[in-house]
Structure 1
Amino acid sequence: MNNELKATVAVRETLPTVFGYLGIGLAFGIVARAAGINSLLVTLTSLITYAGSAQFIMVGMFATGNSILAITLSVFLVNARMILMSMTVAPLVKHESLIKNVILGTLLTDESFALAMNKSNLTNRQLNFSWFNTVNLISYATWVCSSLIGALVGSYIQDPEKYGLSFALIAMFIGLLYLQIINDRALPLLLQAIVVLLVFGLVFVGLIFIPSQLLILLVTILSCILGVVIKNAFF
């Protein structure tokens, strides 16, 4: 990454995550097809919902016969973290118009958020619409196309679990976490390591007592609060 905020630069900087989107999108399409959802609905799900982890949850709940209300609530809880991410990104693009901010927020994902945070470390905490929107559009198009391809391929795969496709999402987040840590020069490495271990611990304990759909949001909020407390107290 460099400090240039051009669309052409965004294309190059988004390419590493494109391969992650391809893997996860293919996995989603295959898993959804195995659950009995046809290729058209798989593609529409990615076009309209556009929420990787939430889409996997949707498919799982659909396959087990959950109600529409339960599925909708679960997807909302899982994606509620985007509210926090949008609040974090907003100051970086506050100079852009309201409509441009809405467009950026609509297509924001975990991956584009991570890229934005990494980029902001090199641009004095400033981003622009051209760079950010290019990142979002490439990510969106890749996700939709890979989901469709996965659904078509999934017609010939009866048991997607044996290929370990569900790990694609986890692997991508590990890579994004690594990039965020090595590029963020504003925070001490020790502090970042402590917060990461804290998140792991909270998730491990939380899974025992809290539904997984709600756990992501609660751990995100609690980790942010504890991270700020630890930073102010010891760093």
Structure 2
Amino acid sequence: MISFMTDELDIRTAIKDTLPTVFGYIGIGLAFGVVSQSVGLSVLMVVLMSAITYAGSAQFIMVSMLVSHNPVVSIMVAVFLVNARMILMSTVVAPYFKKDSMWRNIFIGALLTDESFALSMNKVNYTDHKMSFEWFNTANLIAYFTWMIASGVGALLGQLVAHPERLGLDFALVAMFIGLLYLQVIADRSLAKSLQLIVILAEAVIIYLGLIFIPGNLLLVVGTLLGCATGVVIKHAFY
């Protein structure tokens, strides 16, 4: 497969690099809007939640907990735990912006998502591990506004689409991550492909077993840490 990415880090290139991921945002955003509308949230509330909270999985949890009349404190804790993985991602991204201002770093961190993180980690394989504010900020903004618009449209269409899962919208985000993972594997020339595949399989096992023993809100963070640790051990022991 020929990758669409290059070593350029300008705004125009960021738009081209980010566009393939837009369909994932649209699919899951529409699904969120439909689900939110079905439980009584207005279009304005859906758009504001997407603009302020801006966290797909956390927003689904917020809606379900609001419907169940959970205390506000419980909702806040749940959202924090689900999004705690962003702390780990931010520590990986931050070194690329040491020369940028604090406000630029804050802006990048505030709009960082799983998808833009994965996309950037794929991008640095083509740029000799360099990154620019213009590229990353453009990728983040495209994701941000696409998510808001898609969730708003989903809320508007909510009365027409009672079961979004029948259209496969709930699988859009999963499909996008599979694509990003594939691109990451074929692009990263610094690690042996066999090592990457072993770590992917090990992480799958960790998550599978974690579903049995670890609460869902903590599994993403714990699974990430264990997966990273496993990868480091395997790399130093066998590669």
- Classify the TM-score, shorter chain: over 0.9
- Matches of 2:64 and 2:188 in 1, distance apart? 36
Q: Which of residues 193, 197, 202 in structure 1 aligns to 2:197?
A: 193
Instruction: State the shift of 1:121 in Å.
Output: 0.7
Match of 1:129 in 2: 133
Q: Show structure 2 runs of 5+ residues with no match.
A: none
- Matches of 1:33 and 1:186 in 2, distance apart? 46
Q: How many residues align?
A: 235
Maintained 8 Å contact 1:31/1:154: yes
One-letter amino acid of the structure 2 residue matched with residue 203 of structure 1:
I
Maintained 8 Å contact 1:34/1:160: no
Residue 145 in 1 paired to residue 149 in 2? Answer: yes
- Matches of 1:120 and 1:214 in 2, distance apart? 29
Q: Which of residues 60, 75, 85 in structure 2 aligns to 1:56?
A: 60
The 5 Å alignment of 1:63-212 reads 63-212=67-216
TM-score by length of 1: 0.96
- Matches of 1:32 and 1:162 in 2, distance apart? 17
Match of 1:13 in 2: 17
One-letter amino acid of the structure 2 residue matched with residue 206 of structure 1:
G
Q: Show structure 1 runs of 5+ residues with no match.
A: none
- Matches of 1:29 and 1:126 in 2, distance apart? 36
Residue 35 in 1 paired to residue 42 in 2? Answer: no
- Matches of 1:185 and 1:162 in 2, distance apart? 39
Instruction: State the shift of 1:66 in Å.
Output: 2.0
Q: Which of residues 229, 232, 235 in structure 1 aligns to 2:233?
A: 229
Q: After superposition, what is the alpha-carbon deviation per residue over 1:19-59, rounded to whole angstroms, capped at 9, x for unaligned?
A: 11111111111111112211111101100000111111212
- Matches of 2:157 and 2:77 in 1, distance apart? 30
Report runs of 4+ in structure 1 exceeding 6 Å deviation: none
- Matches of 1:51 and 1:194 in 2, distance apart? 30
Instruction: State the shift of 1:161 in Å.
Output: 3.7
- Matches of 1:32 and 1:103 in 2, distance apart? 28
Maintained 8 Å contact 2:33/2:151: yes
Q: Which of residues 5, 8, 12 in structure 2 aligns to 1:4?
A: 8
Maintained 8 Å contact 2:112/2:140: yes
Q: Cα RMSD (Å) of the superposition?
A: 1.2
- Matches of 1:159 and 1:15 in 2, distance apart? 27
Instruction: State the shift of 1:197 in Å.
Output: 0.8
Maintained 8 Å contact 2:43/2:156: yes
SS at match of 2:169: coil
- Matches of 1:196 and 1:156 in 2, distance apart? 39
Maintained 8 Å contact 2:65/2:75: yes
Q: After superposition, what is the alpha-carbon deviation per residue over 1:140-169, rounded to whole angstroms, capped at 9, x for unaligned?
A: 010100110011001223333443432222
Percent sequence identity over aligned pairs: 57
- CA 1:66–1:164 in 2, change beyond 3 Å: closer, same or farther? farther
TM-score by length of 2: 0.94
SS at match of 1:158: coil
Instruction: State the shift of 1:100 in Å.
Output: 0.8
Moved more, 92-101 or 106-115: 92-101
